[in-house]
Amino acid sequence: MIPSQPIRVMLVDDHTMVRRGLATFLKVYDDLELVGEAADGEAAVQLCGRILPDVVLMDMVMPDMDGVTATEKIRQQFPTVQVIALTSFKEEKLVQDALQAGAISYLLKDVSAANLAQAIRDAHTGQSTLSPEAAQVLIQATIQPPPLGHDLTEREQAVLVWMVTGLNNSEIAEKLGVSPSTIKSHVSHILSKLDVTSRTEAVALAVRYHLVE
């Protein structure tokens, strides 16, 4: 269903040719209207305040103020304006940062004209669109293995701290007020949970990955 008034779109990209291409694309659709262009994030925020577009197509990687910062400022200052991240980059941190900044959608620049037009329409009605690549990045981020040492108990962490300082089992037992056999059991559990076979390896991992303070 085509709205009675065209969706007012603003373009933000530091490459002139990209903006020209997007401007040409917008002319094809009667329900989309180009109302402004900016070449960097700071200019985008200022222009957004003057023209209040419905949807902003925001490049993410730009000199000076980047797209993530500009998106955050626009969403804070002009909450009715929706921002679509439109970029060539699909790194996990950039995807997450853009969405956390308030972008409603994340698309790559190789998106088809029809899909981009629909994403603009969806953004205008509050619906998100993620490129398959961005969706895959977010899925992978949620299924990554837990960090090393996440399953160490509080007592095992305390024992590991003393191991890192170079104390043996008897010395650690004295520090913690327990028997050496108890400490031996804790050390065994620590080696198993860190998937190592020696105290030296456990200490090296603890230092390398900052498992202890």
Boundary of a domain, candidates 119, 142, 165: 142
170 plus 192 within the same structural domain:
yes
pLDDT band at 212 (very low <50, low <70, confident <90, very high): confident
C-alpha 116/C-alpha 64 separation (Å) is 27
Residues 131 and 200 in one domain: no
CATH code of residue 36: 3.40.50.2300
Pair 35, 51: CB distance under 8 Å:
yes
Q: Is there a domain that residue 99 lies in?
A: yes
> Dmax of the chain from CA atoms?
81
Say what the pLDDT of residue 3 is: 54
Coil, helix or strand at residue 157: helix
Task: Looking at the structure, tell me whether residues 172 and 85 fall in a common domain.
Answer: no
Residue 204 CA: distances (Å) to CA of 150, 173, 193: 17, 21, 14
**How many residues belong to the chain?**
213
* Category of 157 on φ-ψ map: left (φ > 0), alpha (ψ -120 to 50) or beta: alpha
| Of 2-6, 14-18, 29-33, 191-195, the least confident | 2-6
Residue ending a domain, choose from 142, 166, 186: 142
Residues 102 and 170 in one domain: no
Is pLDDT of 147 > 70? Answer: yes
Are 133 and 164 members of one domain? no
Q: Of the ranges 36-45, 84-93, 119-128, which one carries the lowest mean pLDDT score?
A: 84-93
Is residue 148 assigned to a domain?
Answer: no
Residue 58 pLDDT level (bands cut at 50, 70, 90): very high
The C-alpha atoms of residue 204 and residue 112 are separated, in whole angstroms, by: 50
The CATH code of the domain that includes 159 is: 1.10.10.10
Range of the domain at 188: 154-208
Q: What is the rounded average pLDDT for all residues in the chain?
A: 93
Backbone angles phi, psi at 164, to 5 degrees: -65, -30
Q: In terms of domains, do 34 and 123 share one?
A: yes
**Which segments within the chain are labelled E, that is strand?**
7-12, 32-38, 55-58, 82-87, 105-108
Is residue 164 included in any domain, yes or no? Answer: yes
Instruction: Please give the residue that has the higher pLDDT: either 13 or 149.
Output: 13
Rounded average pLDDT over 86-92: 90
C-alpha dihedral sign at 172, 175, 176, 182 = positive
Given 96, 112, 142, which residue is the final one in a domain? 142
147 assigned to some structural domain: no
* The two structure tokens encoding residue 123: 């953004």
DSSP-assigned beta bridge partners for residue 34:
9
- The set of residues, in sequence order, having a beta carbon less than 8 Å from that of 17 and lying 6+ positions away, is none
- Given a cut of 90, is residue 59 above it in pLDDT? yes
pLDDT tens-digit profile of 151-184?
Answer: 899 999 999 999 999 999 999 999 999 999 999 9
Residue 18 belongs to some domain of the structure? yes
In a domain, 127, yes or no: yes
pLDDT score at 63: 87
Higher pLDDT, 14 or 146: 14
